[in-house]
Structure 1
Amino acid sequence: MNNAYFSFPMPQNEPVRDYAPNSADALNLQAAIKELKGKKRDIPMYIGGKEIRTDKKVDIFPPHETAHLLGQFSMGDESHINKAIESALKAREQWAATSWEHRAAIFLKAADLLAHKYRFKMNAATMLGQSKNAYQAEIDSACELIDFLRFNVHFLSQIYAQQPISAPGINNRTEYRPLEGFVLAITPFNFTAIGGNLPTAPAMCGNVVVWKPANTQVYSASIFMEILKEAGLPDGVINLVYASGPSIGDICFKHRDFAGVHFTGSTGVFNTMWKTIGENATNYKSYPRIVGETGGKDFVYVHPTADPDAVAANLLRGAFEYQGQKCSAASRAYLPSNLAEKIKTKLLAEMKTLKMGVVDDFSNFINAVIDEKSFDKLASYIDSAKKSKSAKILAGGTYDKTNGYFIEPTVIEASKPDYVTMCEELFGPVLTIYVYDKKDWDKIIDTVDSTSGYALTGSIFAQDRNIIEYLAKRLVNAAGNFYINDKPTGAVVGQQPFGGARASGTNDKAGSALNLYRWLSARTIKETFVPVTNYRYAFHQEG
């Protein structure tokens, strides 16, 4: 019986654990890493609640320790994609009819399981599979994913409570239905939290989902699926499949019941998806929702009044945490001539203290990039900079894939603001700086705004409040997440809803109610208690 209004108050952000040396948390995490490394996982797909394995196995190796086999996952084909869609559509009616408080309870339970029982296992899996250090895993696969689950329940509860006004004798109400069909979630390697949020946000709204993670994130994605099943997610609501991107697109985007895509990945792939969906628009039962967060070429603009020590520290964190593989990572920086030498001196001195190596050693700040393809791409950019007359390498510049895909944190100084590494997305631990004449601080703003087609994140550093306001207005369209005297990374659910525009995506702001609206279809209902029995209005009456 559902005869009460249910409220889910604003949660607190999950506290971040620090994993200090010899702390209980550090010891538990080390034990979880050791346990996962001590066994080879045989990872299935999950379709209709069943574990599906195939004869086509794909090996999983830690990017930082490529000689160690973590396990294998079963690669699917077209038949598995079709089966996942069938299972989702079969589950749709009952899931859509499930009372909100019971849907919410599943995801809140999953958050609690992740916060306690599975915390160290999930963090260890993210560290091993995606080469994150302990802190980067903690803020991602524990805290951010927990926050997504809890805050989305709260935001959706608020949406459901929003109702229209009613005139006397009339009752108006709005119900928020799930979309009519299935949602495809395509998730990236770099954040376990994104991998978890993209399928669960639509599912929380009553939708059924086909989830395709990046092959390089399958290891941790499968553990999150285990958590959802333990939390009570009904069979078929989320179907986890491993298949090629083209096969997924070819089948899903041609299906009559395709209702939407929740995507994080490259701009090129997103553009292709959008075009394909448009070409198939007449085939669909409803116009699909297209939600995507794509690339970034994130900037740091430094004004002549900035604090150089703050700039150096935030460049180091913003550019090199998680090997620069955050969509929001600081990739290009504009330094004024009056501060450039002091900033560079401090930055390069601090870079000498960065340790690089395997994730098991918690003293390592830098680990490996995700795979050989990424390694080779980054190495080619570094080699080009070494040969270029328009750039010089100030720090780093070495790389080695003997035992893992290690790229040394690298700073390139470009002599022109349109040098290739100032413009193109690299997705690695490479920061390019350009020193401008301090008198041109206003002129260079246009360059910051126009150099890249992306508009995901950006930072400004200045001490003058009038200048800060001026810069914020001048760069109003340059970033969906804009930072003042801070690095351009580290958005927190409920605090800084995340997303960008231009070539960086649809700016639907994961971590806020804005994203959830995209997975709902509103129906307005008007009920008249005593209907009229005469069509005539008063002005029709005879005097």
Structure 2
Amino acid sequence: MTLSKVTLEGLPVYRNEPFTDFAIADNRKAMVDAIAAVKAEFGRTYPLTIGGNKVYTAETIRSVNPGNVDETVGYACKASKAHAEEAMGAALTAFETWKRAGAAERSSYLLRAAKLMRERKHGFSATMILESGKNWVEADVDTAEAIDFLEFYAREAIRLSETNEHRPLVAIPGEANRVEYIPLGVGIVIPPWNFPLAICVGMTAAAIVSGNTVVLKPSSLTPVIAHRFFALMEEVGLPAGVINYLPGSGAEVGDYLTKHPQTRFISFTGSKEVGLRINRLAAETSDGQIWIKRVIAEMGGKDGIVVDETADLDAAAAAIVASAFGFQGQKCSAGSRAIIVDDVYEELVGKIVARTRELEVGLPELDFPSGPVSDPLAFDKIMEYIDIGRGEGNLLVGGHKAEGNGYYIQPTVFSEVSPKARIMQEEIFGPVLAISRAKDYKEAISIYNDTEFGLTGSYYSQDEGRIAYATQEMHCGNLYVNRKCTGALVGVHPFGGFNMSGTDSKAGGYDYLLLFTQAKLVSRKLK
């Protein structure tokens, strides 16, 4: 198939990337080998890349294995404001050519990258296991999602380019009308450390396949996996300057680029506090700026699972524990609250505690269910919240540092927590679950809604009338019924939240690329 003939009809039907079954011996061996290969590269220095030029700096960012803090995954060169200005210039130059590339050409780079990532998936996963502390399954899912984003957005870009075929305008006599989705310009992509491949890939791929060029400022906690993705895009032949790899300080480089008059959009995933700061800085017009900057933000969550007395309690307990403690609760979608009606409260809490006690904490490369949190700042913050929780509820399990040469914390459960308690209201981003009691399902849903966030939620019930009520009343961007509140799949569960959870951008959905484009109507009078 030639590039010019890439169409939706010419591509295989989209399917989500399957997860790896590590119960199969060959798959386990492949992961063990991949971890060893990544460890053999520990200590490398990764340069900035600006317009295709490799730039080494005296100051670097040390990437530490959070599961074994004696190990250095690598060193990322650290950008200054001067480097940021150079990267902006390189992106602006590349944009003049890249914006004229057709959707088929731009998509072809994503499809090639997806193919190679699929072939090397364990290497990408192993890097995350060692750099971010994910266990094998969490890392494998992260890589699969990255592949999904590449495949899905490539197809979406082609679909939008064929919009008159797929979504025709109303026809009138004497005119030919069409809508073209054209790129915005240079964007700043600021991905998080907790999904350091999937979200980094998704945000970057969406921006560039839409015809924009970007400055990619990865998290300082996970610059090595971001570089691995960037190097893959170089390998597939992406033109220089379309992506500029620029690790650096958020306060210095991030703020500088956010305020830059040539910045057209900022795509951010991270905390509420940083997201609001970016939104505020982006709203201030700089000298020479001729547009309103667009902010695409996915921020925090204080997500919860509501359970009524008709629910399957075993299924609910499994979902609550998985949602609360998957990747140590370090997901914006993590179910850090459980709200249980009084009739089944004691029984369900007992099941939650029993399942939590089964979670073993240990080194991610050995595939323990629970691993470390991200860094010492996160460790201290979470332990402070656990101390707060001792005064706000009953500590049922956990509550202490776990053994290991890393940032390990025991999965922790508090019961009888007031809906207004801090551990029920504030995002902890760690392995801490707060449980509240409600008199009935309506009060439980009211408690669920009593937060400034609105990202994910889950409702467990076997009553169709109550499910309909929850569907109407639970205010969140992603509501799940009788399943856990984490684990959104690209193309299946478009992801994004309400209120202080962000701009409800719906990553992995059919309208996501529109955020990186502007619609231009072309109307021509016919003879």
Q: TM-score range by the shorter chain?
A: over 0.9
Matched-pair identity in %: 34
Counterpart position of 1:330:
335
Q: Given the superposition, is the C-alpha separation of residues 527 and 46 from structure 1 closer, same or farther in structure 2, using an over 3 Å criterion?
A: same
Q: Give, in whole Å, the separation in 2 of the partners of 1:3 and 1:225.
A: 25
By how many angstroms is 1:231 displaced? 1.3
Find the partner of 1:524 among 517, 521, 525: 521
* Cα displacement (A) at 1:77: 0.6
Q: Structure 1 stretches of 5 or more lacking a match?
A: 531-543
Q: Give, in angstroms, the shift of residue 270 of structure 1.
A: 1.4
In 1: Cα distance, 2:77 partner to 2:245 partner:
11
Distance 1:430 1:69 in 2: 28
Per the TM alignment, residue 492 of structure 1 is displaced from its structure 2 partner at its CA by 0.1
In the aligned structure 2, how far is the partner of 1:114 from the partner of 1:3? 24
1:153 is aligned with what amino acid? A
Tell me by how many angstroms 1:250 deviates.
Answer: 3.6
Q: How large is the Cα RMSD of the aligned pairs?
A: 1.7
Q: Could you tell which deviates more after superposition, 1-10 or 309-318?
A: 1-10
Q: 2:148: which partner in 1? A: 147
Question: 2:74 & 2:417 partners in 1: Cα distance?
Answer: 46
- State the SS of the aligned residue for 2:462: coil
Equivalent pair of 2:324/2:431 in contact (CA under 8 Å):
yes
Select which of 59, 77, 82 maps to 2:80. 77
Q: Choose from 494, 498, 504 the match for 1:497.
A: 494
Q: Based on CA coordinates, which of the two structures has the bigger radius of gyration?
A: 1
Residue deviations 1:143-182, cap 9 Å, x none?
1000001111112222222222443332212222111x31
| Match in the other structure for 1:305 | 310
Q: What does 1:50-65 align with in structure 2 at a 5 Å threshold?
A: 50-65=53-68
The equivalent residue for 1:30 is 32
Q: Residues 315 and 330 of structure 1 are in contact (CA less than 8 Å); yes or no, is this contact kept in structure 2?
A: yes
Tell me if the contact between 2:133 and 2:374 (Cα under 8 Å) persists in the aligned partners: yes
Contact 1:508 1:515 in 2 (8 A): yes
Instruction: Give the drift of 1:402.
Output: 5.9
1:294 Cα deviation from its structure 2 partner: 0.2
What amino acid maps onto 1:327 in structure 2?
C
SS at the partner of 2:358?
coil
Question: Which stretch shifts more, 3-12 or 324-333?
Answer: 3-12
Counterparts of 1:5 and 1:28, CA distance in 2: 34
CA offsets, 1:263-295, max 9 Å, x none?
Answer: 101111111111122221674222221110000
In structure 2, what is the Cα distance between the partners aligned to 1:243 and 1:183? Answer: 16
Aligned-partner residue type, residue 365 of structure 2 = D
Which stretch of the first structure deviates more once superposed, 242-251 or 515-524? Answer: 242-251
How far is 1:2 from its partner?
Answer: 8.8
Report the Cα distance in structure 1 between the residues aligned to 2:376 and 2:3, rounded to whole angstroms: 54
Map Cα deviations across residues 235-288 of structure 1 (whole Å, 9 max, x no partner): 000111011112234422332221101110111111111112222167422222
Q: In the alignment, is the contact (CA less than 8 A) between 1:323 and 1:428 conserved in 2? A: yes
Q: Aligned AA for 2:386?
A: I
Q: Which moved more, 1:105-114 or 1:60-69?
A: 60-69
Shift of 1:355: 1.4
Find out whether 1:189 has 2:201 as its counterpart. Answer: no
Residue 454 (1) aligns with residue 456 (2): no
Post-superposition Cα deviations, 1:32-58, rounded to whole Å, max 9, x if no partner, equal 111221232211122111222111122
Q: Secondary structure at the match of 1:76?
A: coil
Output the CA distance in 1 between the equivalents of 2:87 and 2:427: 34
Q: Which moved more, 1:94-103 or 1:369-378?
A: 94-103
Query: Who is 1:130 aligned against?
Result: 132
Partner of residue 242 from structure 1, selected from 247, 250, 273: 247
C-alpha separation in 2, matches of 1:5 and 1:79: 40
Distance 1:494 1:228 in 2: 23
Residues 340-370 of structure 1: CA distance to partner in whole angstroms, max 9, x if unpaired? 22212222222222111111212x1001000
Cα distance, 1:306 vs. partner? 1.2
TM-aligned CA distance change 1:9 to 1:28, over 3 Å: closer
Distance of aligned partners of 1:338 and 1:134 in 2 relative to their CA distance in 1, 3 Å threshold: same
Q: For the structure 1 residues 407 and 173, does the alpha-carbon distance in structure 2 shift closer, same or farther, using more than 3 Å as the test?
A: same
2-structure distance, mates of 1:453, 1:77: 35
Structure 1 residues 65 and 3: alpha-carbon distance in aligned structure 2, compared to 1, 3 A threshold: closer
Tell me: CA distance 1:156–1:500, structure 2 relative to 1, closer, same or farther (3 Å): same
Confirm or deny: 8 A CA contact 1:10 1:151 kept in the other structure: no
TM-score under structure 1 length normalisation: 0.92
- Equivalent pair of 2:46/2:227 in contact (CA under 8 Å): yes
| Residue 465 (structure 2) pairs with residue 466 (structure 1) | yes
Q: Which amino acid aligns with 2:175?
A: I
Tell me the distance in 1 between the aligned counterparts of 2:369 and 2:425: 26
Report how far residue 70 of structure 1 moved. Answer: 1.9
Work out whether residues 155 and 512 of structure 1, in 8 Å CA contact, stay in contact via their aligned partners in 2.
no
Counterpart residue number, 1:104: 107
Determine the C-alpha separation between the residues in 2 that align with 1:101 and 1:258.
Answer: 26
Distance 1:2 1:494 in 2: 24
SS in 2 for 1:432: strand
Q: Return the offset for 1:431.
A: 0.4
Does residue 429 in structure 1 map to residue 431 in structure 2?
yes
Give SS of 1:486's match: coil
Partner residue, 2:388: 384
Cα contact 2:103–2:157 (8 A) shared by 1: no
Preserved contact between residue 4 and residue 104 of structure 2 (Cα < 8 Å): no
Report the Cα distance in structure 1 between the residues aligned to 2:445 and 2:202, rounded to whole angstroms: 35
Partner of 1:262: 267
Instruction: State the partner residue of 1:46.
Output: 49
Distance 1:11 1:382 in 2: 44
Tell me the distance in 2 between the aligned counterparts of 1:242 and 1:415: 41
